[in-house]
Amino acid sequence: MSDRIRAVKGTRVLLPDEAERWAEVEAVARRVFGSYGFGEIRTPILEHTELFVRGVGESTDIVGKEMYSFTDRKGRQLSLRPEGTAPVVRALVEAGIGSWPLPQRFYYVGPYFRYEKPQKGRYRQFHQIGAEIVGDEGPLTDAELITMLMRFLGELGHADLEVLINTVGDVESRAAFRAALTAYLEPRREALSADSRRRLKTNPLRILDSKAERDAEVLDGAPRLEEHLSAASRAHFEAVVAALEAQGVAVSRRDSLVRGLDYYTRTVFEIVSAELGAQDSLVGGGRYDDLVAELGGPQIPAIGFAIGQDRLIETLPDDSPLGRDSGVDAMVVPIGEGSGTEALRLAEELRSAGLRILLDSPERGVGKSLKHADRCGIEWVILLGEDEIARREATLKELTGGEQVTVPRSELAGRLASAVDAASGVKERS
Ligand code: HAM
Query: Does 304 contact ligand 1 (Cβ within 6 A)?
Result: yes
**Facing residues of 320 across strands?**
none
Query: Does 82 contact ligand 1 (Cβ within 6 A)?
Result: no
Query: Does 382 contact ligand 1 (Cβ within 6 A)?
Result: no
Per-residue confidence (pLDDT) for residue 184, from 0 to 100: 95
Q: Is the peptide bond before 362 cis (omega within 30 degrees of 0)?
A: no
Query: Does 398 contact ligand 1 (Cβ within 6 A)?
Result: no
Q: Which of 72, 3, 12 is nearest to 309 (CA)?
A: 12
Q: How remote is the CA of residue 238 from the centroid of ligand 1, in Å? A: 25
Q: For residues 6 and 86, is the Cβ–Cβ distance under 8 A?
A: no
Query: Does 285 contact ligand 1 (Cβ within 6 A)?
Result: yes
Please tell me what DSSP assigns to residue 189: G
Q: How remote is the CA of residue 269 from the centroid of ligand 1, in Å? A: 12
Ligand 1: nearest atom to the Cα of 285: 31
Q: How remote is the CA of residue 113 from the centroid of ligand 1, in Å? A: 10
Number of C-beta neighbours around residue 106 at 10 A: 22
What does each C-alpha distance from 362 to 142, 337, 341 come to in angstroms? Answer: 60, 6, 10
Q: For residues 399 and 372, is the Cβ–Cβ distance under 8 A?
A: no
Q: How remote is the CA of residue 307 from the centroid of ligand 1, in Å? A: 6
Per-residue confidence (pLDDT) for residue 395, from 0 to 100: 97
Radius of gyration of the chain, Cα coordinates, nearest whole angstrom: 28
Q: For residues 166 and 281, is the Cβ–Cβ distance under 8 A?
A: no
The pTM is what? 0.89
**Packing angle of the helix pair 139-155, 231-246 (nearest 10 deg):** 40
d(CA 236, CA 170): 10
Look at residue 370 and give its three-state secondary structure: helix
**Facing residues of 396 across strands?**
382, 405
What is the full per-residue pLDDT of the chain (430 aa) written as tens digits? 789 999 999 999 999 889 999 999 999 999 999 999 999 999 999 999 999 999 999 888 999 999 999 999 999 999 999 999 999 999 999 999 999 999 999 999 999 999 999 998 999 999 999 999 999 999 999 999 999 999 999 999 998 899 999 999 998 888 889 999 999 999 999 999 998 998 888 888 889 878 889 999 999 999 988 899 999 999 999 999 999 999 999 999 998 898 989 999 999 999 999 888 767 899 999 999 999 999 999 999 999 999 999 999 999 988 777 755 667 899 999 999 899 999 999 999 999 999 999 999 989 999 999 999 999 889 999 999 999 999 999 999 999 888 999 999 999 999 999 988 887 765 443 3
d(CA 147, CA 284): 14
Q: Which of 349, 370, 345 is nearest to 360 (CA)?
A: 370
Mutate to test the pocket of ligand 1, among 126, 136, 262 (most ligand atoms within 8 A of CB): 126
The answer for residues whose C-beta is within 8 angstroms of residue 215's C-beta and 6 or more apart is 192, 193, 196, 207
Query: Does 127 contact ligand 1 (Cβ within 6 A)?
Result: no
Ligand 1: nearest atom to the Cα of 118: 19
Q: For residues 133 and 141, is the Cβ–Cβ distance under 8 A?
A: yes
**Facing residues of 381 across strands?**
331, 397
Q: How remote is the CA of residue 200 from the centroid of ligand 1, in Å? A: 24
Q: Which of 284, 286, 254 is nearest to 270 (CA)?
A: 284
Q: How remote is the CA of residue 344 from the centroid of ligand 1, in Å? A: 47
Mutate to test the pocket of ligand 1, among 261, 270, 282 (most ligand atoms within 8 A of CB): 261
Number of C-beta neighbours around residue 388 at 10 A: 20
**Packing angle of the helix pair 139-155, 16-34 (nearest 10 deg):** 140
Query: Does 306 contact ligand 1 (Cβ within 6 A)?
Result: yes
Q: Which of 172, 176, 179, 149 is nearest to 162 (CA)?
A: 149
Query: Does 290 contact ligand 1 (Cβ within 6 A)?
Result: no
The answer for residues whose C-beta is within 8 angstroms of residue 76's C-beta and 6 or more apart is 48
Mutate to test the pocket of ligand 1, among 43, 65, 66, 83 (most ligand atoms within 8 A of CB): 83
Strand pairing category for 283-287 and 265-273: antiparallel
Query: Does 273 contact ligand 1 (Cβ within 6 A)?
Result: no
Ligand 1: nearest atom to the Cα of 116: 19
Q: For residues 162 and 283, is the Cβ–Cβ distance under 8 A?
A: no
